[in-house]
Structure 1
Amino acid sequence: MDGNGVSRRAALCLLGTGLTLAAGCSSSEETEGDGNGSTETGAEGENLDGEGDPAIETGDLPAFTQALAATPDENYFFGAVDLETMWTVFDGDGDRRFEGDEDESESGETPTDPLVVNPLSAALIGYVVLLGLGFSAAGSVYERNDRAGGEGYVVFANDTNIVVSDYDFDGIVADMGELDYEEVLLEDDRAVYYDASTGQAVGATESLFVYAHESENGDEDEFDPIAAVERHVDAAVGERPLEHETDDDFEWLLRAGDTTGLVFCLFSDADELAADATDLDEDEFESTEGGDSGTDLDVDDQPYEGAKGGLQHLDIVTDESRPFASAVFTYASEDRIDEERLEDAVGTQAEAGSTTVVRDGARVRVEATYAEETLEE
């Protein structure tokens, strides 16, 4: 994907540390539902109540919204993972919770349902974001001044990495002053620094710790990490707009989608996402020593065909409930919705009869429930 989509820069810059992560889970053959024959569809307007409320409900903006700065780019990609979910997925020590036994792992089978695959990509990238921060000089500054004790969210928005939490801003300023970073911006409520030796820009407010790297491909995509970090810290304190403040459709995705657990979102200012909006070319990723290539970050774009944007969500196995996935999509017009194709594409590994597709004009919501074994095996 290009610089506006799934962040290959995050993988290139962070996987370059030599740390190996393999995304995904093993086989879920025994628990697959019939994604083609067991989808329940709500026709347009069918789920309206007597007062004409929309079939797809909306709620509050998510807690990580302040990390989603507006961008001049046409496409907007972001993922978000709350830290509690992150450590559940990776057992807190980098070992994936959702692995099968040795024989199953060797089979190399992974989830194929896009309702699962795409949010799991968000988990992987989020974990790599934390690893990359931890192995940078600024990582110790982040850790010392995080007042939330490991709570919060990891967010990656286009090519910028953010940890949303509660920070001692004055402490960050003092600690960054002790490192070999150039001070680019220092205001009462935000700061930006740059390390020319690594190409890393770092920024902070009382609620965000932000970093981004220069492209390892030279000036190929003209990405400026300093400008990107400045954009996010400025937006967090109200000096620039947040993305949802500039586009009603993007705001609808945030309000209509479920935003706990693992969150994955693609959006375009155009009427439809470009055909290459989820492309990840194998040669754009470097393999780590003894590990797999970055193609573990593959995105399944089938649900996004014809859509202006979509937001996916996955709640992983908990003690109280089974895995639950949902997605909301917005279209430039109703005639762009191919309902039959969408029904065929999603919920292919869900429990039989659990997948629902609800239309509300030019907007769609999908839900599905999964057996625990779908993610554990």
Structure 2
Amino acid sequence: MSQLPAPSPEALAHSARLQAEICRAIDQQGGWLSFADFMEMLLYAPGLGYYTAGARKFGSAGDFVTAPEMTSLFGEALARQLAQVMALSVPQVLEVGAGSGRLAADLLLALEGLGQLPERYAILDLSADLRQRQQETLARAAPHLLARVEWLDRLPDEFSGAVLANELLDALPAHLVRWNGDEIRECGVVRDADGGFMWNERAAGGALLAAAREIADSCELEPGYLSEISLAARAWAAEWGHRLGCGALLLIDYGFPRHEYYHPQRGAGTLMCHYRHHAHADPFYLPGLQDVTVHVDFTAIIAAAHAAGLDLLGYASQGQFLLNCGMLDLLAAIPRDTPDYVRAASAAGKLLMPHEMGELFKVMAIGRGIDGGLLGFAQGDQGRRL
């Protein structure tokens, strides 16, 4: 990893503290920690995890750039879909995992322009640092709308309206599994002789084994095939079956239908880490200082949601979804031959083009009590591929 930017002494000390915490957790678990538990500590350990500590994560100064950081056109297009969902249900929005708050600000301003402001815009984020950044972003960009925003500590017991999760599911903990014919093993983490981490496998069991067998029954997996199963993402989707009244969840993330996720050519999995705009595949590197993600198995998400009583309302590539929501019309409204247009056109190309983010990222809508087709899936709905 010598090619990656060197962290500061303070960052290294922070990483060392998290590493020590994880080592203690491994010892408490008898010397072996599932990768799902390891990933959860990397990202969410109180005060130390990547998303719960104070390091800057988004934009040019962070580790990666998300769609809302690239252009306000993303939020403006998405606002048209949220407005339709609210018109068909209840005029309120819940954003889960709001990042820097940039998307919330863009959505509120766009919905105001449409005359479709929600009565309440709730944000659920467990990071105190990110909450502060979200408040600062909203106070700068839309101070007159800040009174409509509230922050939640947990999922509401009941909710109706539009739920938004942009790049949330990829950051939920996942198990790592290796298939060897009839033998299915779970990859976990143990301590090495130098106080660091190394991989160790044991027989899979319980719900993980059942999920792994189901995948093996429907996909062609060569011996030694390695990939991820996110039981947490499935549980999160199913939980809304108990909480959603009338409304829809819009899930935006990179991923595939199951037959593409567990494709023969993807035999090393989708695990990826992001540090200072560099991508690599070593989750043991600098604990707490890098993002760790896996792609989303959208087939598993809709299966869990449907079993909990929710309906599939649409599934499309991000590019097609944004086109359906009028992103090109929004771009055309910006005066040409201006710096704003040049920047917006470049960002729109990255969000729409198949070889950029347009095809890798997907948008799924699941919900209850929503009649009629949703705007974002009017053309190019790929629900049959799930």
Same topology, TM > 0.5: no
Q: Which has the higher contact order (CA 8 A, sep 6+)?
A: 1
Q: TM-score, normalised by structure 1?
A: 0.23
Q: TM-score, normalised by structure 2?
A: 0.23
